[in-house]
Chains A and B, each alone.
Chain A
């Protein structure tokens, strides 16, 4: 597979993954683009790996969580309209929709590592052991990040509404 074939087949999926992990489409674009420049320069070596896409996804994750990236790009993940919907007074049917949007907004507003852990668990379907390996930390740390993130998501106007509360 050539680099162009890889990009043609997997770029959209990579961008979706990066958007889920970063919570921000602009940042996802920036991170994916930076990683693919490096991938392109070493494509022959990377293509020889069993799962090049997994390798690239790991690069995306590392790039996003690097301090250099955080200093360069301050994430402003929560769109104004989502905040307005999350805090606005709306009718019951709309309230459910608003709560769903609010949940997305809350996920986007999580600290980077917490959101990354949830994205890997719920979007990628990774186990805690796999997430620990990807993040270079212990499983207990993964569980701690996940617990904190889930606690942050349990706000009265979001999950309680989704549960019919």
Chain B
């Protein structure tokens, strides 16, 4: 066998590790619904916020700064309101967001927040996401207009990877790669880096830098979720992650970068028609579940009418296998609080 044959053979064996199409198809239904809901919210949010800011006129999201003159490290004058503390609903879990921008391009509103529930800073990962108000996302665009502010471990993304050295709020940073999706990365201290990515437009490096230089500590804004785990098996290397947005609230366990146990609440999701689901009763609620050797998917309507959807890998971590009883145990012990108000969704 030639070297070329060996490499070809290795790729075939790599492809043999491909995920189960059944699980992917299940996720596709969920993702498509989330996509439709986000589009609907963007359209609806556009009417409300554009009316408030521009007297009912059409407000186009603009990424106004371009060019390559990145200028001195001067804080960007703010154009966003200071967040107000919002007490969580009783029984809900809350994690404060550590940073916020004080300036964003006109027309962008916040639609998503996520955070890990980390014991140490080295495991903290937070994201805030803004999208243009009144804009319907084009499904065929590779990078629909969006702005992300990420807080990540410094070991994840190193400054050295970035092409153009810059100073951001007195800290060492880098800007790059140039092109349609600029990313600004800078040191936040405590072994963490902050990152701003601006997706869409020709060259938005200066926009990313302006956003970055407006970022200040937050601690008032929060991610609030109505779910928390009661019982979980010991999962080496696992982290709990909260995510909330217009379409649902998510509680998940991630191992590495990937969700292995995921629960969504307050979405609008039904069992896919393609699945041979079976009835299941848990927590006093009737529902359906689908089980195979790699995953368990579960759809429940809670006694108060709220939908709960779970997707659990059979092998969520190395050396750990979830039985049906384990799955039911996890679901039974979930703590479920009231739906969060999340008044920040769709606002600046």
Contact = CB atoms under 8 A, between A and B. Distances in A.
Interface residues on A, range: 35 or more
Given A29-B19, A71-B148, A37 B32 contact: yes
A163 interface: yes
B197 A67 contact: yes
A10 to B, nearest CB: 10
A130 to B, nearest CB: 16
Contacts of B1: 162
Interface stretch (B7-15, B103-111, B284-292): B7-15
B24 A11 contact: yes
Interface in B25-76: 25, 27-28, 31-32, 35
Contacts of B256: 26, 76
A159 B18 contact: no
Interface in A1-56: 7, 11-12, 15-20, 23, 25-30, 32-34, 36-42
A103 interface: yes
B347 to A, nearest CB: 23
Given A12-B18, A19-B18, A104-B13, A33 B6 contact: no
B276 to A, nearest CB: 15
Interface residues of B, number: 46
Contacts of B183: 67, 71
Contacts, number: 132
A112 to B, nearest CB: 13
A104 B181 CA distance: 31
Interface in B140-188: 140, 142-143, 146, 148, 150, 156-157, 177, 179, 181, 183
B11 A29 contact: no
B211 to A, nearest CB: 15
A162 B7 CA distance: 11
Nearest to B179: A67
Contacts of A62: 142
B85 interface: no
B181 A18 contact: no
Contacts of B18: 12, 15-16, 18-19, 25, 28
Contacts of A25: 17-19
A153 B17 CA distance: 20
A144 to B, nearest CB: 17
B142 A118 contact: no
Contacts of B4: 122
B329 interface: no
A103 B14 CA distance: 10
Contacts of A131: none
Given A7-B25, A33-B24, A41-B35, A71 B150 contact: yes
In order of increasing CB-CB distance, the 8 nearest A-B pairs are A41-B139, A38-B139, A16-B15, A123-B11, A15-B18, A19-B18, A26-B258, A67-B181
28 contacts: A11-B21, A16-B15, A17-B15, A18-B18, A19-B18, A23-B14, A25-B17, A26-B256, A26-B258, A27-B258, A28-B19, A30-B258, A32-B24, A37-B31, A38-B35, A38-B139, A40-B28, A41-B32, A67-B177, A67-B181, A71-B148, A73-B258, A80-B318, A103-B6, A107-B14, A122-B11, A150-B7, A159-B3
Interface of A: 7, 11-12, 15-20, 23, 25-30, 32-34, 36-42, 59, 62-63, 66-68, 71, 73-76, 80, 100, 103-104, 107-108, 118-119, 122-123, 150, 153, 159, 162-163
